[in-house]
Structure 1
Amino acid sequence: MGGRKMDQRNPNFSDDDDEDDSPLEWEKIGRKALAKSRRVPVVGFMLGPLSIEQKKRAAVKRAKLEKNKADEKKPQEIKEEDISRSGNETTKNVAIIASKLEEMGEINLFRFFINPNDFAQSVENLFYLSFLIRDGKVALDSDEKGEPIIYLCSPPSEEDFVNGLRKRQLVFEFDMDTWKKAIEVFDLKDPIIPQREKAKMRIGDKWYG
């Protein structure tokens, strides 16, 4: 910068050295100075220490969420009379199906329970029919073509079971595709089991259909 190189052979320099045009090697001077000093060099600022102002956090007010009691929904209670009514409805429909089967005699299973106008009621008809089959009041068999048929029968007695009669469980798969195919194959137009009104069930203070 504006200094002169110090003569390495003589550490003492005089005014005559000002005539030397070689620049000072500040890096070497710094290393030699540090070797004689035990003070750790620190970083400083030309304008002095910076004044850091600590920011204050703005207090955020959080409003407490209060539930509106009017908007709270209480669970609907199913009363004993609702269950009783549902059970009576099932018993009534099972009796109607038994009466209709007695009127029809031996008949193809699909022709009997399928309602070509209502898939849901077809499922319900099969459900009610299953009670009669379970209790042994309706027999499920197959005809000479291998198609399933049903007819009324007398429930088995205790003697029949003693003689070796065994109950068998049957899993019957019935979906909408099967329903549509059966309608097409058997050319079904009208239901044998009469169309029922949509059942309504009372839950709590409301009715659901």
Structure 2
Amino acid sequence: MLSSKSNRLTEALEEANKLFEKVCRAREAALDAQFLVLASNLGKEKANELHSEMTSFDAATFAEDLLTLMGINRIEVEENDSEPGGFLPRDAWQKVGEEALKYFRRAPTFHYMLGSFKSDPPVAKQRIERQKKASKGEAKQMMPAQLNQMEESHDETTEKEVERILGILNTLFENDPETPISFFDFVIDPNSFARTVENMFHVSFLIRDGLAEIRLDDDKLPIIESTKFRRVGEENRGPGARKQVVMSLTQEEWKEIIEVFEIREAMISPPFQSTEEEMETE
């Protein structure tokens, strides 16, 4: 394989390239990497055995020829070894560059032969501690109060909305106590799915507190009625007799209910509309 006339190394590399396309595991990739390391070592040994014009490469001979190209006479150099400043002429590397330029189509990049210039280590910057401990303490003290205010405000808003919906339900029963109110007609807002979910949420508090109840009519459809207008002789359901269930409603079901029940207007008006009507009445 190390012989210059043998192509076994090239054939092995080509076969490895074909097998690499089928690699799908980490272990197989590791074996491929080990093979590349081995192949590169064999290629290095094979390159060292190459001969140029039946003459092996000799680093010492090459160095002698390079110095001769630079214009250095080895005999004179040996006699003047004691002189300071080295033995290379000032234009020695310039001659090498001009000769090398003949064999390169682009200018070589500039770099330092002995590394970059020596620089001093960077000066460490002093850290300046910012005085924010007091402000953080004040923020931590204020956060619980703010959260409490937000919770209280949310509870008050929910309570007011439940009372408002109860007032709407009682008003509908006062106007027409004989006509049952469909649960879907009451809570569905055809213009807003979010408002529909909020209405169902607030109505659940009325059912929980016994201020309203839901039952099925003759067609097995849910109807809602206020317990304030319960007829005399009807069953009085106490807190223990009430049952609560979890009801889900998707946006597709919401659209289907609107089409089936032909709901065109919401019975429960949005809160901001009610506020505007009260202001106009005042």
Aligned to 2:269: 194
Matched, 1:103 2:115: no
Aligned to 1:131: 205
Q: Is the 8 A contact 2:214 2:224 kept in 1?
A: yes
Cα distance in 2 for residues equivalent to 1:131 and 1:49: 102
Q: Return the offset for 1:103.
A: 1.9
Q: Return the offset for 1:55.
A: 5.4
Cα distance in 2 for residues equivalent to 1:180 and 1:192: 17
Q: What are the within-5 Å matches in structure 2 for residues 61-140 of structure 1?
A: 77=143, 78-105=146-173, 106-140=180-214
Aligned to 2:26: none
The correspondence for 2:256, drawn from 155, 169, 181, is 181
Aligned to 1:10: none
The correspondence for 1:47, drawn from 59, 82, 86, is 59
Aligned Cα root-mean-square deviation (Å): 4.0
Runs of at least 5 residues in structure 1 that lack an aligned partner in the other structure: 1-42, 199-209
Q: Return the offset for 1:193.
A: 0.7
What SS is found at the alignment partner of 1:150?
Answer: strand
Identity %: 28
Q: Return the offset for 1:85.
A: 1.4
Q: In the superposition, relative to structure 1, how do residues 91 and 48 fare at CA in structure 2: closer, same or farther (>3 Å)?
A: same
TM-score, normalization: structure 2? 0.41
Cα distance in 1 for residues equivalent to 2:203 and 2:117: 74
| One-letter amino acid matched to 1:95 | E
Q: Is the 8 A contact 2:161 2:271 kept in 1?
A: no
Q: In the superposition, relative to structure 1, how do residues 57 and 174 fare at CA in structure 2: closer, same or farther (>3 Å)?
A: farther
Larger RCO (CA within 8 A; separation ≥ 6) = 1
TM-score, normalization: structure 1? 0.54
Q: In the superposition, relative to structure 1, how do residues 57 and 83 fare at CA in structure 2: closer, same or farther (>3 Å)?
A: farther
Cα distance in 1 for residues equivalent to 2:219 and 2:247: 19
Moved over 6 A (4+): 56-59
Cα distance in 1 for residues equivalent to 2:214 and 2:62: 97
Cα distance in 1 for residues equivalent to 2:194 and 2:115: 69
Q: Return the offset for 1:48.
A: 3.8
Cα distance in 2 for residues equivalent to 1:153 and 1:197: 27
